[in-house]
């Protein structure tokens, strides 16, 4: 019975990420279009795109490519099932930040391995840029999150949500500097402008995706959607107080739209500029936030 309930909850999490992830992406395209004074595609355009890629007849580039794509999607699905969506927790008690961080690398490495396996130089450049960028945003992000975990004395995300509900204050009020750093890091994690160098379509022909045809493209699009879902969910849970299922989705939507609007008006950093930026301003702000918390200066 408990097994059945767990399966049900995991399915609910995955279906939520699939349906709302793709819907919000479609709405994001619509909003980008309105900013550029266009009508934009319908909100369900991304569903059509994913299912269309599954109907095409593509090519594989060897077994390491197949395995990499499966490992990327599988790893991200495994990670996603540990992320609490507000009060919908698939594995209660196991929704620990360290579990999520640990599993998250499986998806990223699977993608890197599969895309390098295509043998295309653009793909290698894209993957190298993605990993370099990761080096940039992970350091300030981890300093902030570690500070947060130190303050709450727990790594369990549900407990952090509950602590925010009990104190009646979201962490974005308690840790405004840290929230700002996390938001800047989030922009890099989502791969949106100004940190779009890994996939720059006009520059390195969409980087890691360069050799993806048909169903591989569709699976990687799904993987990208799920990854975005994990990253934004973590931000919402840590800083905006989670909430019930629908409140959570509303907060998620607002953060996503903010990221889309920022990306619609900004140009692209070169990769070394992006890393240099992350290792100056956000990292200093992260240290300031950590200093405040260690000294007990939390509002």
Partner 1 sequence: MAQIDERSVWEKIADQLRSRSMWMLHYCTGCGAVELPPSMTSRFDMERLGMGSMATPRQADILLITGYLSAKTLRRVIYTYEKMADPKYVIGFGSCTINGGIYYDSYSTINRLDYYIPVDLYIAGCMPRPEAILNAFNTLMEMIRKGEANGWKRYKENYEWYKQNQIRSLGEVIVHDEFHE
The binding site for partner 1 (CB under 8 A) comprises: 29, 33, 36-42, 45, 48-49, 51-52, 55-59, 119-121, 201-202, 205-206, 209-214, 217
If you ran DSSP here, which 8-state letter would residue 91 be given?
S
Shortest Å, Cβ 2 to partner 1: 39
Shortest Å, Cβ 183 to partner 1: 28
Retrieve residue 282's tokens: 């956000």
Rg over CA atoms, the chain: 19
Cβ proximity to partner 1: between 210 and 234 the closer is 210
Which of these, 179, 185, 169, lies nearest to 239 by C-alpha position? 179
Shortest Å, Cβ 201 to partner 1: 4
Cβ proximity to partner 1: between 121 and 176 the closer is 121
Shortest Å, Cβ 36 to partner 1: 6
Answer for the pair 82, 90: CB distance below 8 angstroms, yes or no: yes
Cβ proximity to partner 1: between 87 and 120 the closer is 120
Shortest Å, Cβ 226 to partner 1: 20
Cβ proximity to partner 1: between 152 and 268 the closer is 268
Shortest Å, Cβ 224 to partner 1: 14
Q: How far is CA 85 from CA 3, 9, 16, 264, in A?
A: 20, 11, 9, 27
Which of these, 83, 71, 239, lies nearest to 171 by C-alpha position? 239
Separation of alpha carbons 50 and 217, rounded Å:
8
**Through-space distance between the first and last CA atoms of the chain, rounded to whole angstroms:** 44
Cβ proximity to partner 1: between 211 and 228 the closer is 211
3-state secondary structure of 158: helix
Cβ proximity to partner 1: between 45 and 87 the closer is 45
Separation of alpha carbons 50 and 53, rounded Å:
5
């Amino acid at each position: 019975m408990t097994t059945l309930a767990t399966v049900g909850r995991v399915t609910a999490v995955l279906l939520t990420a699939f349906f709302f992830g793709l819907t919000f992406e479609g709405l994001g395209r619509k909003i980008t279009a309105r900013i550029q004074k266009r009508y934009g595609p319908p909100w369900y355009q991304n569903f059509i795109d994913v299912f269309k890629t599954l109907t095409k007849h593509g090519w594989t580039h060897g077994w390491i490519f197949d395995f990499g794509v499966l490992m990327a999607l599988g790893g991200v699905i495994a990670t996603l099932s540990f992320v609490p969506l507000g009060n919908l927790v698939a594995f209660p008690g196991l929704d620990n930040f360290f579990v999520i961080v640990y599993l998250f690398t499986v998806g990223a490495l699977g993608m890197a391995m599969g895309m390098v396996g295509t043998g295309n130089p653009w793909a290698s450049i894209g993957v190298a840029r993605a990993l370099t960028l990761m080096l940039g945003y992970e350091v300030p992000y981890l300093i902030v999150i570690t500070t947060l975990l130190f303050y709450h004395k727990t790594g369990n995300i549900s407990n952090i949500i509950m602590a925010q509900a009990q104190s009646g204050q979201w962490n974005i009020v308690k840790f405004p500097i840290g929230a700002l750093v996390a938001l800047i890091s989030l922009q890099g994690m989502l791969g949106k402008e100004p940190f779009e160098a890994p996939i720059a379509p006009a520059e390195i022909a969409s980087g890691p995706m360069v050799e993806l045809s048909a169903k591989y493209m569709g699976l990687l699009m799904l993987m990208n959607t799920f990854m975005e879902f994990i990253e934004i969910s973590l931000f919402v849970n840590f800083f905006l107080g989670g909430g019930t299922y629908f409140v959570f989705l509303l907060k998620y939507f607002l953060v996503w739209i903010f990221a889309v609007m920022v990306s619609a008006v900004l140009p692209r950093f070169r990769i070394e500029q992006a890393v240099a930026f992350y290792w100056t301003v956000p990292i200093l702000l992260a240290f300031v936030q950590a200093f405040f918390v260690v000294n007990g200066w939390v509002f």
